Structure 1
């Protein structure tokens, strides 16, 4: 575990593993780097992987200051600067995909290839989850809300064969103020006007059965980002990258390899 101190004095924990060109893996809202534990080694035959604990999560500082996806992107840049990495490929899922949009739009010279998974452009054009999903996640019984989230992340068949632990349900050590600030950062994200300016080769991935972040958002992103490719994974829910790792992981690696070898 190593740390970078950002320009505003926040200490960000980050983890670099493997060898090869760097691939930054960005987790979902209110999650730390363990989001990627089940799958990050799948990338190591061709890439090193860099994860971080967002401010408010894991071993990073948890300041009582406003958060935003743009600020999270600035934290990633601070980590890259500290490690001497001029340019990296970026793979962001869920809220991490929103952070990745900010990175690619605002820091184009730092981003090689871009993969956006199970994410949304946000703002007035983003497709919001349904009221039934909101009600399920807002149940007062913690066990019921957790089960609802599990079933939004994974299919029943996969859950039956994988009893846990699960690393995609939120950082259990997050303080309440950090959870609120993460939620606000994700809810306020609006990259619609930025997306046409993204110049990095882009792959958009989404599960066809994702209700947590509706699948229709994938087409919005792919249509808005110049030259973006769209790939939907049949039957997958929000955590497609984990449940469908045998499909999604090689797809991402093939895309990264094809972009790095372009003339």
Structure 2
């Protein structure tokens, strides 16, 4: 089981090597989500690319890294402590990602992040130089110019009915993200997703620490310094990170392309996986060809 050490915290990652000749694709998870969230995209790119999938700190098999006492605090107190004192930072999670890629021994990668993972990916390309391309799904650059998570969505995600079981809590939190049409058509998949989340997702303290990182994230005044080809994919019906955030990213990042998923929800990488995969594969193929051409051209 490959692991990297970042600031004394053990970060787990999977490194699936395939026979393709493209640069490795690195998938960075959203808030609290385990590696399961990328299963559709990992399968799509596997014919051409190796895949690296880290667990964000506090998620899956990665260590949480906060003091043991924090986990024993009452929920309301713990939330305040995470927000003000011991929460994670997106910069720290980008450093975790750099430790993983250093441990994996890779030089050039295609970096793909969704939601909180998209924030980590943006921070990463501003701080480090391994990413050859950047793909940002359902995410934001943060700060005062960004469109915030709707209050109703925040209440639904963070205020869970008292007495709810673990499965009921997960189902309640997912409701604003998925469309009713998708959940109604795919009851068995939704049940399976709940099982994956129980197996792999962050526990409440780590999830709150990740949420604190997302709330504090703001590169609105630096996002135009991103200098790698960038794909922005966003759904028009995203009820968590509103669509205008994707528009803002595409406008501010110099070499960015916006792919709009009409009617797409926040987890469009699940609900609209074929459309998302088509956009991602086309983007990766274009820029792998560009990299190959640059590498094979004779020097002048």
TM-score by structure 1 length?
0.92
Q: Residue 114 of structure 1: SS of its match in structure 2?
A: strand
1:32 is matched with which residue?
34
Matched, 1:114 2:134: yes
1:100 is matched with which residue?
121
Give the 5 Å matches for 1:50-69: 50-64=52-66, 65-69=86-90
Residue 2 of structure 1, CA deviation: 1.5
Give the 5 Å matches for 1:76-87: 76-87=97-108
Find the aligned partners of 2:247 and 2:29 in 1 and give their Cα distance.
21
Find the aligned partners of 1:87 and 1:78 in 2 and give their Cα distance.
14
Q: Kindly tell me the number of residue pairs found equivalent between the two proteins.
A: 261
Q: Aligned pair in 2 of structure 1 residues 173, 159: CA closer, same or farther (>3 Å)?
A: closer
Find the aligned partners of 1:72 and 1:102 in 2 and give their Cα distance.
9
1:253 is matched with which residue?
281
Deviations 1:24-83 (A, max 9, x none): 001101122222124311110121111011111111111115411111111111111111
Task: Name whichever of 43-52 and 88-97 sits farther off.
Answer: 43-52
Counterpart contact for 2:230–2:257, Cα < 8 Å: yes
Find the aligned partners of 1:91 and 1:177 in 2 and give their Cα distance.
25
Unaligned 5+ runs, structure 2: 67-85, 294-300
Matched, 1:241 2:269: yes
2:210 is matched with which residue?
182
Find the aligned partners of 2:229 and 2:111 in 1 and give their Cα distance.
11
Moved over 3 A (4+): 141-149, 167-176
**RMSD (CA atoms):** 2.0
Aligned with 2:51 (options 49, 71, 82): 49
TM-score by structure 2 length?
0.81
Q: Aligned pair in 2 of structure 1 residues 84, 195: CA closer, same or farther (>3 Å)?
A: same
Q: Aligned pair in 2 of structure 1 residues 16, 245: CA closer, same or farther (>3 Å)?
A: same
Q: Aligned pair in 2 of structure 1 residues 258, 172: CA closer, same or farther (>3 Å)?
A: closer
Give the 5 Å matches for 1:101-250: 101-107=122-128, 109-137=129-157, 138-141=159-162, 142=164, 146-162=170-186, 163-164=188-189, 165-166=192-193, 174-250=202-278
Unaligned 5+ runs, structure 1: none
Q: Residue 154 of structure 1: SS of its match in structure 2?
A: coil
Counterpart contact for 1:30–1:170, Cα < 8 Å: no
Find the aligned partners of 2:50 and 2:270 in 1 and give their Cα distance.
19
